[in-house]
Amino acid sequence: MSPPLPRALRPKPRRPGDNGNGRNGPNGSTVAPPKPTVKDHALEGTASAVGWLDERTGLSPFLRGFLFRKVPKGTNWFYTLGSATLFAFLSQAVTGVFLAMYYEPDATRAYESASRITNEVFLGEFVRGMHKWGSSVMIILIFLHMARVFFFGAYKYPRELNWVIGVVLLVLTLLMGLTGYLLPFDQRSFWATVVAVNINASGPLVGPYLADFLRAGAEFGPTTIPRFYALHMLLVPGLIIALIGAHLYLVAKLGTTAPPWLKAEKKDLLTEEI
Amino acid sequence: MTRRTLMTGTALAAGGIATMAFALPGLGFALGPIFEDTTPTVWQDVGPQDDFNEDTYVPRVINITPEIGDAGKTTIYVRAFNRRRDRVIEGQDPQPYVAISTRCAHLGCPVRYIQASQKFVCPCHGGVYGFEGEVEGGPPVRPLDRFYTRVELGRVEIGDRFSLNSDLERFAPRDPSNHLDGLWQYLYPARPTT
């Protein structure tokens, strides 16, 4: 059973005297139905388009369950941190796609193309700035979201799996930060990446091979930047999108938790329809 | 076996084979660089023998990776072998010139030689190395790497890099942060890429 539509979205019954069914004129007389206005046509058209889609996809119960689900009493602004992280990711994805149109992942061209984005391309400074600062915003938000879930005890049964998925998303987000840091290819990026790769190399047995994988060889070489670039814009974001899907599915499926300071007096008191 | 399990198994196997058919070559393609030697031996000329002496290091720039511009270059410090101060390790021929890599053995930052104190100092995390590149302080786990050297027609040439343990015994080149003393050397194996 999907939840009912909120009151504002329910179709209103017609009131006597104000409609066009032709039998409610003054003194019971019959009046001609008024001509449909442009607004009526627009509403009609939208409704039939939505109906066409819904008839063929059966999406509406799913969307209704997802958008109008019940949330516990006491739900507050802290519960928006997950959505905030999601929007930070979307912002990174959109600005990243457009940066990719101007960026050249080549050791001799990377720095030049990145500085061309900043100095010459129209709005380039702004889009690159959004991507650069947005990355920090996303990291901050994901940690705040994690802290919210931890301190509210929202990781407990039956939501452990969603915590695990969230931790994987955290690691992938950090990996985005690591791989993206090299791409401007200035001194700071280069040496930070050298140090980061050598930290990977410090793991016993597998570490040296992991470092070779990241560098595509024993030394920082011509394919190192393309490798980081491919990880940064294809592999890791793909995994993040897939896992965000699973994360949201579980949120919708299991619902959210009440804040820990609310104690249930009766069994079903914590459930409230909005 | 029922007909149903046979069909289910066949369908799953077909899907699995089809997936492996693109996943395995793709994975191999991505992992390939781990298994091939990307650092062929090239001897690089760094100047006439007269440029170098026994008591101080002279900085030189060599190419580690061609074709990537400045990112492929590195500074090395070169001096002549010093009979009084350099240890001779049994079983390995001493190099005519000592060519020290500036790659810090902690995490790979570039070290600088300070002539006044005759020490190498790393700017990142405070590693300090002595005249022979041996660790004197800070986090580095082994001495600074060196390069093979030779003299051709009166000119000094620099070859492959090699690593050393704290007794200055030679090993195949390792990444920074890889210990080489005692049992540690087995936890940080020499890789096929070097």
Q: Dump pLDDT digits (tens) for B32-65.
A: 989 888 777 889 999 999 999 999 999 999 999 8
* Record: contact A191-B177, CB cut-off 8 A: no
Give residues 13 to 32 of A whose Cβ lies within 8 Å of B: none
For residue B41, the model assigns a pLDDT of 82
For residue B40, which residues of chain A lie inside 8 Å, CB to CB? Answer: none
What CA–CA distances, in Å, run from A147 to A49, A236, B140? 43, 23, 36
For residue B163, the model assigns a pLDDT of 95
Nearest to B98 by CA among B106, B86, B109, B89: B86
Residue B31 has its nearest CB partner, among A185, A205, A213, at A213
For residue A3, the model assigns a pLDDT of 75
For residue B28, which residues of chain A lie inside 8 Å, CB to CB? Answer: none
Residue A39 pLDDT > 70: yes
Distance CA B87, CA B89 (A): 6
For residue A11, the model assigns a pLDDT of 76
For residue A195, which residues of chain B lie inside 8 Å, CB to CB? Answer: 107-109, 124
Residue B23 pLDDT > 90: yes
* Record: contact B68-A223, CB cut-off 8 A: no
A200 with A228: CB under 8 angstroms? no
For residue A202, which residues of chain B lie inside 8 Å, CB to CB? Answer: 107, 175, 177-178
Computed over every residue of chain B, the mean pLDDT equals 93
Side-chain-facing half-sphere of A8: CA atoms under 13 Å:
2
pLDDT tens for B127-167 read 999 999 999 999 999 999 999 999 999 999 999 999 999 99
What CA–CA distances, in Å, run from A32 to A16, A20, A37, B136? 15, 8, 15, 101
Percent of chain A's residues with pLDDT above 90: 72
Residues A31-54, mean pLDDT to the nearest whole number? 86
For residue A18, the model assigns a pLDDT of 59
For residue B177, which residues of chain A lie inside 8 Å, CB to CB? Answer: 198-199, 201-202, 207
The full DSSP string for A140-153 is HHHHHHHHHHHHTT
B54 with B81: CB under 8 angstroms? yes
Interface test with B, best of A183, A210, A212, A224 (most B CBs within 10 A): A212
Burial (CB count within 10 angstroms: exposed 0-12, middle 13-18, buried 19+), residue B163: buried
Give residues 134 to 193 of A whose Cβ lies within 8 Å of B: 185, 190-191
Distance CA A95, CA A179 (A): 16
A141 with A85: CB under 8 angstroms? yes
For residue A147, the model assigns a pLDDT of 98
Residue A257 pLDDT > 60: yes
For residue A17, the model assigns a pLDDT of 62
For residue A12, the model assigns a pLDDT of 75
* Record: contact A221-B38, CB cut-off 8 A: yes
pTM over 0.80: yes
pLDDT tens for B81-112 read 998 999 888 888 889 999 999 999 999 999 99
Distance CA B2, CA A125 (A): 65
The three-class DSSP label of residue A8 is helix
Distance CA B86, CA B73 (A): 27
> Of A187 and A16, which is predicted with more confidence?
A187
**Residue B43 bridge partners (DSSP):** none
Q: Which residues contact B161 (CB under 8 A, 6 or more apart)?
A: B39, B101, B145, B146, B147, B173, B194
Compute the count of residue pairs across chains A and B with CB atoms less than 8 Å apart. Answer: 94
Distance CA A89, CA A79 (A): 17
pLDDT tens for A133-184 read 999 999 999 999 999 999 999 999 999 999 999 999 999 999 999 999 999 9
CA-based nearest distance A149→chain B, Å: 35
Give residues 223 to 252 of A whose Cβ lies within 8 Å of B: 223
For residue A263, the model assigns a pLDDT of 74
pLDDT tens for A212-233 read 999 998 999 999 999 999 999 9
- CA-only gyration radius of chain A, Å: 27
Check residue A36 and report its DSSP letter: P
* Record: contact B67-A219, CB cut-off 8 A: no
Interface test with A, best of B27, B31, B34, B41 (most A CBs within 10 A): B34
CA-based nearest distance A189→chain B, Å: 11
Computed over every residue of chain A, the mean pLDDT equals 90
For residue A152, the model assigns a pLDDT of 95
* Record: contact A209-B34, CB cut-off 8 A: yes
For residue A28, the model assigns a pLDDT of 57
Whether the CB of A214 is below 8 Å from some CB of chain B: the reply is no
* Record: contact B109-A207, CB cut-off 8 A: no
> Of A54 and A272, which is predicted with more confidence?
A54
Distance CA B106, CA A79 (A): 43
pLDDT tens for A77-125 read 999 999 999 999 999 999 999 999 999 999 999 999 999 999 999 999 9
Interface test with B, best of A198, A214, A223, A231 (most B CBs within 10 A): A198
CA-based nearest distance A66→chain B, Å: 32
